[in-house]
Structure 1
Amino acid sequence: MRRDLHDLGWGAALALTGLAVAGYAWVSYDMGSLRRMGPGFFPVTLGMLLAGLGAVIAVPAMSRPGQSRPFAWPEIIAVVAALLVFGMLLDKLGVLLTTALTVLIASSVAPRGGLGWRLVLSVAVTALVWLVFVRGLNMSLPVWPGALR
């Protein structure tokens, strides 16, 4: 019987990544308490949630028959390119233009054609980023090109 190796492998990768993050944060940062959380509380919690999600994906895949699926190279390249563009251009273009460009790059390989919905998605995600990170959390991000932090 063939197992679902695709879900098994990626679920295990998620679980191991989550455990590594939680383990590193556990030994490197103070946990604090529930009333006064330390800097390690949030990364340990997120790492354990990621490990749990990986287990939820991997464990059922051990008994499920799998099928061969092609690797999604165009999608991987678009997502990695979008992340690289975001990291390299955030200080130069500001968070709003960089977010819009990143969404356009990441959505360029979507099976649905057309530029209209991509522009609407880009504007919506950019507005959400501005509301959450700039207005809500008051993070010191450059909003526009040349803006000071």
Structure 2
Amino acid sequence: MPAFIRHPKDFWTGVIFLCMGLAAVIIGRDYTMGTAGRMGPGYFPTILGGILAVIGVIAMIRSFARPGEAIGRFYIKNLLLVLVAVLLFGFLMRDAGLVPAILAVVLVSAYASPKFTWGPSLLIAIGLAVFAVVVFVKLLGLPMPILGPWLGF
């Protein structure tokens, strides 16, 4: 890392934000833009991508001015566990239902933490499952199976 970059975390965060923002702007160019009053499908990704790119540039500029710590170890196992949890949620949602999917995503992603314990993780998972059922299924009326056909419902 060059010496003039004083805060590597801010620098690489800015690079990621800038790349994602520019990708959204470039992809959004293929859609009709519309106006602020009558937004087209390209309006939101273009505006949001532009804002994200500006935030990325600001973070990169800030990395030259203020000191910070170096980037630490890259925890690939934890990253993969969180990715597997998200994919598991998508896989389980339709056929197992909302409750098993939320239980799986919370418990698998919590397992990625070095401070993981079963008791608090299970309580959080159950609380989030109840919250999701109440808000999304009962109050908003979204057509999500609470328990899916895999579980005999």
Q: Which residue of 1 aligns with 2:102?
A: 99
Q: Give a deviation string over 1:116-148, Cα, whole Å, max 9, x none.
A: 22123223333444455445654444432129x
Distance between the aligned counterparts of 1:29 and 1:102, measured in 2? 34
**Consecutive unaligned residues in structure 1, runs of 5 or more:** none
- The CA deviation string for residues 1-30 of structure 1, in whole angstroms up to 9 with x for no partner, is 3623343123201221122113212x2222
What is aligned with 1:29?
31
**How far off is 1:60 after superposition?**
1.3
Query: Following the alignment from structure 1 to structure 2, what is the Cα–Cα distance between the partners of residues 67 and 2?
Result: 13
Report % sequence identity: 27
The 5-angstrom pairing of residues 1-149 of structure 1 reads: 1=3, 3=5, 4-25=7-28, 27-65=29-67, 66-135=69-138, 138-146=141-149
TM-score normalised by length of structure 1? 0.76
Amino acid in the other structure paired with 1:109: A
In structure 1, how many angstroms separate the alpha carbons of the residues matched to 2:135 and 2:43?
22
Give the whole-Å Cα distance in 1 for the aligned partners of 2:85 and 2:123. Answer: 17
AA at the equivalent of 2:18 = A
* Cα distance in 2 between the residues matched to 1:126 and 1:79: 18
> Displacement, 1:75?
2.1
Q: Distance in 2 between matches of 1:8 and 1:131?
A: 41
Larger Rg: 2
| Runs of 5+ consecutive residues of structure 2 not aligned to the other structure | none
Paired AA for residue 51 in structure 2: L
Q: How many residues align?
A: 146
Segment of structure 1 superposing worse, 65-74 or 123-132: 123-132
Q: Return the TM-score normalized by structure 2.
A: 0.74
Could you tell me whether the CA contact under 8 Å between 2:21 and 2:49 is conserved in 1?
Answer: yes
Counterpart CA distance in 2 for 1:96 and 1:52 is: 39
